[in-house]
Amino acid sequence: MSLDTLERADFVWLTALFEARTGIRLGFEKHTMVVGRLLPRVRARKLESLGEYLQLLRAPHEEAERELLVDQLTTHETSFFREPKHFEVLDAWARSVKPSGAPLRIWSAACSSGEEAATIAMVLEQVAPPGGYEVVGTDVAPEVVRRAQRCVYPLERTTGLSQALLQRFCLRGEGEARGTFCLKDSLAKRLSFRVGNLLEPQPALGQFDVVFLRNVLIYFDDERRRRIVANVLERLKPGGLLLPGHAEVVRDCSDALEPLGPAAFRFVPAASRAA
């Protein structure tokens, strides 16, 4: 096997491993993309070919590399204030919430490297709910979760952040951290990140007032898409908000979703409607 090709049988084995861990199915038409994303790992491990890399992935002691495989093949496109209308919805909702003394809990599902969760915190920090708030991010890729936990980003990620937000919530890196910026501790302490597969129930996360489920359902077939939405709704409080990506369809996944506007829904389960 050459450095830049995968035989079909090897591609099938590799993508089956990826699908078993993420639920995302990659057809052979994604061959070029898969090869392009794996070549950096081939070079990093000082291997001569993709064939050698597949042998390495099969080794029982290479679990860390299999985790990196998930990170390499998962799309992690994200940014601060991406799809900004959702943050306007969040701001308006948070201002309308009646104080209960309990902290608001927001779930950034498929959080990638954490910019979405940090944006949520910036919005809520300005609204300042009396009971405080917590933002929980989950992602299926362990390495990207570790990056999110650091709350450190390349300077080019400042796109979308106003100078006022940067001054209030961020610090520019110096010395070895030059070229990066990080969140101030006052904001970072509101965030927590963990590995989580949306195809599996997540009871340990507790209940949430709002769930951001954006730009993830598009990667799944209908059966898995419905399973993900069902798992997410189990974690959403009655009356809570579900915010999917603007290109995603969720209405066929549950009759308990009441549309509030473009890509914004209130969760109203049957028991709540009856009451």
Interval 54-69: pLDDT, tens: 999 999 999 999 999 9
Interval 67-121: pLDDT, tens: 999 989 988 888 999 999 999 999 999 998 877 778 999 999 999 999 999 999 9
Instruction: Please give the positions annotated as active site.
Output: 37, 139
13 and 99 fall within a common domain = no
188 and 59 fall within a common domain = no
67 and 126 fall within a common domain = no
Mean pLDDT calculated for residue range 118-142: 92
Which residues, other chains included, contact 9 with Cβ-Cβ below 8 Å and sequence gap of 6+? none
Is the predicted pLDDT of residue 3 greater than 70, yes or no? Answer: no
Count structural domains, the chain. Answer: 2
Residue 34 CA to residue 28 CA, distance in Å, equals 9
Whole-model pTM: value is 0.90
- Name the residue range of residue 41's domain: 8-73
Q: Are 257 and 267 in contact (CB under 8 A)?
A: yes
Residue 168 in domain = yes
45 and 106 fall within a common domain = no
164 and 51 fall within a common domain = no
- The mean of the pLDDT values for the chain is 91
pLDDT of amino acid 1: 47
40 and 140 fall within a common domain = no
Report the CATH number at residue 24: 1.10.155.10
Domain end marker among 73, 107, 129: 73
Percent of the chain at pLDDT > 90 equals 74
Interval 178-209: pLDDT, tens: 999 999 999 999 999 999 999 999 999 999 99
169 and 194 fall within a common domain = yes
